[in-house]
Amino acid sequence: MPAKTWIPSQSPVDASNPSVSPFESGGSRNLALIQNIQNWLLSSHVQLTDGPHRGGVAGWLNEKGSPEFLYPELMGYYLTWLTFLSVVSHRNETIFSHSRNALRWISDQFADGHVPLTRLYLQSSGEDWRNSVIFSFDTAMLSRGVALAPCLDGDRGREDTLARILNCLAYFIGSNGFIQPYLRAQSGPSLALPDRWSLAIGPHQLKIAAAVFSLPPNVVSQDLAAAADRLYWHWRERLLSMQLSGDTHPILYYLEGLLLAGAYEIDEEAWLLAARVYTKLMEAQSPEGGLAPRLNDTGTPLRSDVLAQALRIGCILRSRGCLSHRWEEKLATLAITLELFVQDDGSVQFCRHGRERHRNTCSAIFSHQALCFFETLSAGQTIPDSWVKLLI
């Protein structure tokens, strides 16, 4: 389906000197938070430094500071974040070291036709329904991270690992030509599956398609490329005419898929579609700046990953002129709310109340990028397209 040309109706943020990074000049209160989160992601126990799983990245650290589990989706996010960090930071040797170790762990996990469990627990052996399946979403995020991972030189091992992961992703293509959300795992427990959005088809799968769009064309099979294209165009307009309800997280994944499709010039109308749905979604933002993880459920504790996703998306749309000047105050309240989750050591709590106050790695990655975007926007600069392509 050919894309149509769209010209933004609002003026974008002024980019009088886009070559100067706001992280290299001046000082704002966000800069200290950005640096602290970065240091925590690079220097804490998030990435294992020894043992059989050296290089693996933990989903979160418990209250004692110990890693709970490893999982492939997060490995993809971590590698994409390292690539983003290599663009906005000069700590290249440190970044390369973390990338090499992560790639080595992933290669080991996919060796000899093996496919890792969704969650590889380190602290307990409790059964988890997620280990009864493997997810196409997780596999797609991992493939994107491996493809983007910063390396000092050409790495044949990375190419082989990526080929194995993409071969795994191709198994999710159903007889109807669509990418299915999950397959039953050949190993792991055979548990009953709950009613979760992650197990269903839906607009959130746009981010799967966008991940495939971001891969080098020479590594993507014709069948996988066609399936991603079919998936994207099937769901791209689905939320425009619907009343938004349920979990916020998959709606944000849908929006991220649109933004990535726009950045990779797959769909020039994606920016406008994203702005329209984002505007509808943010009608649920509270006066204090929060966005609940479930729409129309203000009793649910706020989640840092949701807040960070919403802030990133809004900053990109405002930067491109798809949102008007009045949105700057709404984005500022989102940022202020998100900052409350950042701890003194740079870790980011998943929730500030209830039982899920662990220091969450995904939340830290999302928050670091969100605050980088917000700092750039606040400095009156445009968020570069190269950054949008690295939307985690």
Residues 81/392, Cβ–Cβ less than 8 Å: yes
Q: Dump pLDDT digits (tens) for 115-139.
A: 999 999 997 766 899 999 999 999 9
Residue 5 domain-assigned (yes or no): no
Question: In this prediction, what percent of the chain has a pLDDT beyond 90?
Answer: 80
Is residue 318 within 8 Å of 305, Cβ to Cβ? no
Identity of residue 392:
I
**For residues 231-257, average pLDDT:** 96
Q: Looking at the domain assignment, is residue 267 inside a domain?
A: yes
Q: What is the pLDDT of residues 38-71, one digit of tens each?
A: 999 999 889 999 999 999 999 999 888 899 999 9
Task: Please tell me the predicted confidence (pLDDT) of residue 354.
Answer: 77
Q: How many domains does the chain have?
A: 1
335 part of a folded domain: yes
Domain CATH number, residue 346: 1.50.10.10
- For residue 23 the two structure tokens come to 């992280």
pLDDT score of 27: 55
Kindly state whether residue 227 falls inside one of the protein's structural domains: yes
**10 domain-assigned:** no
Residue 254 included in any domain? yes
pLDDT at 157 over 90: no
In a domain, 7, yes or no: no
Residues across the chain: 392
- Per the structure, the complete domain to which residue 43 belongs is given by 25-388
The per-residue pLDDT for 125 is 67
